[in-house]
Amino acid sequence: MKLKFNSEKGSRKAWSLYTLVIKALFIGAITLSGIQTTLQAQETQYTRPSWFFGLAGGANINFYEGSTHQLNAELTPPATFHKGQGIGLFAAPLIEFHRPDSYWGFMLQGGLDSRNGKFEEVKTPCNCPADLSTDLSYITIEPSLRLAPFGSDFYLYAGPRVAFNMAKSFTYKLGINPAYPDQEITPDVTGDFSDINPIQISMQIGAGYDIYLSSKNHQTQFVLSPFVSFQPYFGQTPRSIETWNITTVRGGIALKLGSGREIKAVEKVEKTIVPEKVVVAPEPEAKFMVNAPKNVSTEATVTEIFPLRNYVFFDTGSTEISNRYVLLKKDQVKDFREDQLKASAPKNQNGRSDRQMIVYYNILNILGDRMVKNPSTSVKLVGSSENGSKDGREMAESVKIYLVSVFGIDASRIATEGRVKPSIPSLQAGGTNELVLLREGDRRVSIESSSPILLMEYQKGPNAPLKSVEITNMQEAPLESYITFENKGASEAYVSWRLEIKDEKGIIQNFGPYIEDEVSLPGKSIMGTRPSGDYTVKMIGETKRGIIVEKESKVHMENWIPAESVQAMRFSILYEFNNSVAIPMYEKYLNDVVTPKIPIGGTVIIHGHTDIIGGEDNNLKLSIARAGNVKSILEKSLRKAGRSDVKFQVNGFGEDEKKAPFDNKYPEERDYNRTVIIDIVPEK
């Protein structure tokens, strides 16, 4: 067992390093600021840099949750540790790109990232206090998108975090029973955690503020940026066993430097005013124009009826709910509403959709919310595990405990059962190929109910999906419809500029000030509810010498109006593994729910899909058979209604991952890929 220094000393050392980094950044900033002050006599001016290089330093405030028990193969304490906290050092070089006239940019930083901490003291069966601390640290790489929402020095950033484990030591202390003060003290145990994940992929969001230490008289400019970020526990699970996770709040300072471009136009203006008798300086070289596009049509609104699979999948070897699922705390339940999940779907309706999976990953919250609103309902949770019915029942109990403890549902309304296999297993007797993926699909808890209000229309029985969730892709004014005011060269010629817009009645509106070369405004912000109008646009700019420059343009503007069309609709039919025939309860759903939604002269686009299990040729045939099965049912239903006005487009894509609705990494994604998607498009 590898020995390590005491973690508390490590924490103090990390804090000392953090203090040194911050002091170094401050001293460097003050020194550089002093150097820059001595150079103020320069007359040449430069733009703000686009590229910055520097160093970021700060402190990670780490919060531990979950459980930690078995430390390694040689040490399993008699008590389980749960919560904890600590402070660790963050120090990293950085690269940053953002144009002075742009809201968007990019950041990249990578370096030392400490997740040090100490768990809260627990009592062992002998009434002895036990302490556990760790010197956990990583080398991290953090690319982020940068957004300056107000065009100022304040900015937001967000992006992934990829961390590579560098240190994993722990110190375990076992105290003595206070009732026996003469008891021999147990020596501290130090070592390395086992089952540490070598790589972690998580995320962060943060904010910062750029403080320029240099004026525009200097080509090399220095910036001091205090920042703060939040790194939630998603993806921050240090070990492949147990449930220990870390949430981090980071605060610190970055020192950056960049090189600006010489503003030649300003230099020329300065030379022209050398004679004292010159009163009027040449107008700065900035070209102003307005682009007001005509009304831009958009795609029709798409309303998707998203099926809610009644399965909760569990990770191999664990009977606890996977952290992929959204789990609320008790005080968050009052704010949860199912209709909050009816968010806008992605524009690419045929691409993979994280948004739909977010709906699915809230399945337990949706179920809890529905059971709270309908107190007469009840469910049965059936856990299936290859390790035996006892293991399956423990999985089901984990779900029950969550619903009872968080949503306050009476335990008598929830029954549990354990099995070796689900009622419709994916792994069939005699199977030899891709057994790991098949077992992952069968390791699940099925939600069964005889309460119709919880289930999808016309469906009943143990395998009936839960009631669907409606997701709507709302129409919004597209960027192409925005009115663009281009003031080329303004960032170099003007301190700032603004817009004065007057309508036919002489009513004036003011917008700005701006510092960038181009500004785009939605027509609604200028015209309100008017469909169109004629406007006089005046650009008013102030040069760096205080001279006011005005330019005027007359323009006809058109407001964006949403397309007037019947909503397109999307339905999905889910199939069991390796099955191409819709079960009878889906036939009734297609006949009674989907067929009446098909408008006169409409088009029905049917796409069949499969997961990646099995051969490509077989999956292609299976997807075509599934799509054909749905078309056959709909055509038959339309004929009974005396209709022949509908056009069909039918395709089977097999396991083609470029066209699959979802990824295939997890069993729930593969389950949702066993589908036929039905798009109902009205006649244009």
Average pLDDT on 292-314 reads: 76
Tell me, yes or no, whether 542 and 573 share the same domain.
no
Listed ranges 158-167, 421-430, 456-465; the one with the highest mean pLDDT:
158-167
Tell me, yes or no, whether 258 and 377 share the same domain.
no
Range of the domain at 657: 569-681
| Of the candidates 655, 576, 570, 567, the residue with the CA atom closest to the CA atom of residue 606 | 570
Inform me whether the pLDDT recorded for 78 exceeds 80: yes
Q: Beta strands 379-384 and 414-419: pairing type?
A: parallel
pLDDT tens per residue, range 477-533: 666 678 888 888 888 888 888 899 999 889 999 888 888 888 888 888 888 888 888
Q: Tell which wins on pLDDT, 455 or 562.
A: 455
Under 8 Å CB-to-CB from 291, ≥6 apart: which residues?
483, 484, 486
Kindly state the percentage of the chain with pLDDT values over 90. 45
Confidence of residue 119 (pLDDT cuts 50, 70, 90): very high
Average pLDDT on 319-346 reads: 78
130 CB burial (10 A radius; 0-12, 13-18, 19+): buried
Average per-residue pLDDT for the chain: 83
Kindly state whether residue 51 falls inside one of the protein's structural domains: yes
| Of the candidates 515, 79, 50, 67, the residue with the CA atom closest to the CA atom of residue 256 | 50
Kindly state whether residue 271 falls inside one of the protein's structural domains: no
Confidence of residue 449 (pLDDT cuts 50, 70, 90): very high
Average pLDDT on 112-141 reads: 94
Query: Residue 180, CB half-sphere, CA atoms under 13 Å: how many?
Result: 10
- pLDDT at position 448 is 93
Do residues 472 and 303 lie in contact, with contact meaning Cβ atoms separated by under 8 Å?
Answer: yes
Confidence of residue 32 (pLDDT cuts 50, 70, 90): very low
- pLDDT at position 585 is 60
Under 8 Å CB-to-CB from 273, ≥6 apart: which residues?
281, 545
Q: Tell which wins on pLDDT, 578 or 169.
A: 169
Do residues 163 and 202 lie in contact, with contact meaning Cβ atoms separated by under 8 Å?
Answer: yes
Confidence of residue 659 (pLDDT cuts 50, 70, 90): confident
Backbone angles phi and psi of 397, in degrees to 5:
-65, -35
pLDDT tens per residue, range 368-390: 999 999 999 999 999 999 999 99
Tell me, yes or no, whether 205 and 332 share the same domain.
no
Under 8 Å CB-to-CB from 7, ≥6 apart: which residues?
116, 118, 133, 134, 135, 169, 170, 171
Confidence of residue 106 (pLDDT cuts 50, 70, 90): very high
Q: Cα 516 to chain center, whole Å? A: 29
Kindly state the percentage of the chain with pLDDT values over 70. 82
Tell me, yes or no, whether 585 and 518 share the same domain.
no
SS3 category, 91? strand
Inform me whether the pLDDT recorded for 433 exceeds 60: yes
CA distances from 666 to 198, 342, 610, 620 (A): 20, 23, 14, 21
Q: In which region does residue 458 sit, left (phi positive, over 0), alpha (psi from -120 to 50) or beta (all else)?
A: left
The whole-angstrom separation of Cα 196 and Cα 634 is: 53
Inform me whether the pLDDT recorded for 291 exceeds 80: no
Tell me, yes or no, whether 450 and 484 share the same domain.
no
What's 531's domain CATH number?
2.60.40.10
Inform me whether the pLDDT recorded for 456 exceeds 50: yes
Inform me whether the pLDDT recorded for 22 exceeds 50: yes
Do residues 319 and 400 lie in contact, with contact meaning Cβ atoms separated by under 8 Å?
Answer: no
Tally of structural domains, the chain: 4
Tell me, yes or no, whether 339 and 460 share the same domain.
yes
Choose the weakest-confidence range: 235-239, 262-266, 365-369: 262-266
- pLDDT at position 109 is 94
CA distances from 197 to 119, 164, 437 (A): 20, 9, 22
Q: Tell which wins on pLDDT, 623 or 477.
A: 623
Inform me whether the pLDDT recorded for 34 exceeds 60: no
Average pLDDT on 575-604 reads: 78
- pLDDT at position 479 is 62
Average pLDDT on 204-218 reads: 88
Q: Could you say which of 504, 523, 558 is where a domain stops? A: 558
Kindly state whether residue 336 falls inside one of the protein's structural domains: yes
pLDDT tens per residue, range 182-202: 888 889 999 999 999 999 999
- pLDDT at position 348 is 39
- pLDDT at position 152 is 80
- pLDDT at position 476 is 57
Do residues 117 and 102 lie in contact, with contact meaning Cβ atoms separated by under 8 Å?
Answer: no
Tell me, yes or no, whether 584 and 614 share the same domain.
yes
Inform me whether the pLDDT recorded for 168 exceeds 90: yes
Tell me, yes or no, whether 435 and 579 share the same domain.
no
Do residues 227 and 206 lie in contact, with contact meaning Cβ atoms separated by under 8 Å?
Answer: yes
Tell me, yes or no, whether 35 and 130 share the same domain.
yes
Kindly state whether residue 2 falls inside one of the protein's structural domains: no
Average pLDDT on 610-636 reads: 90
31 CB burial (10 A radius; 0-12, 13-18, 19+): exposed
Kindly state whether residue 297 falls inside one of the protein's structural domains: no
- pLDDT at position 144 is 95
Tell me, yes or no, whether 389 and 485 share the same domain.
no
CA distances from 96 to 29, 101, 204, 292, 353 (A): 18, 15, 17, 34, 30
Average pLDDT on 559-576 reads: 75
pLDDT tens per residue, range 531-552: 888 999 999 988 878 888 888 8
Q: Could you say which of 408, 434, 468 is where a domain stops? A: 468
Kindly state whether residue 267 falls inside one of the protein's structural domains: no
What's 308's domain CATH number?
3.30.1330.60
Inform me whether the pLDDT recorded for 684 exceeds 90: no
Average pLDDT on 41-61 reads: 83
Q: What's the DSSP call for residue 480? A: G
CA distances from 554 to 71, 451, 533, 638, 644 (A): 74, 65, 11, 56, 54
Residue 628 tokens, joined: 């054909």
Kindly state whether residue 659 falls inside one of the protein's structural domains: yes
Average pLDDT on 119-125 reads: 92
Confidence of residue 349 (pLDDT cuts 50, 70, 90): very low
Tell me, yes or no, whether 105 and 204 share the same domain.
yes
Choose the weakest-confidence range: 320-329, 344-353, 507-516, 572-581: 344-353
Q: Could you say which of 468, 492, 518 is where a domain stops? A: 468
- pLDDT at position 393 is 96
- pLDDT at position 354 is 65
Alpha helix segments (H runs only) across 466-593: 490-493, 523-527, 584-589
Tell me, yes or no, whether 48 and 170 share the same domain.
yes
Kindly state whether residue 33 falls inside one of the protein's structural domains: yes
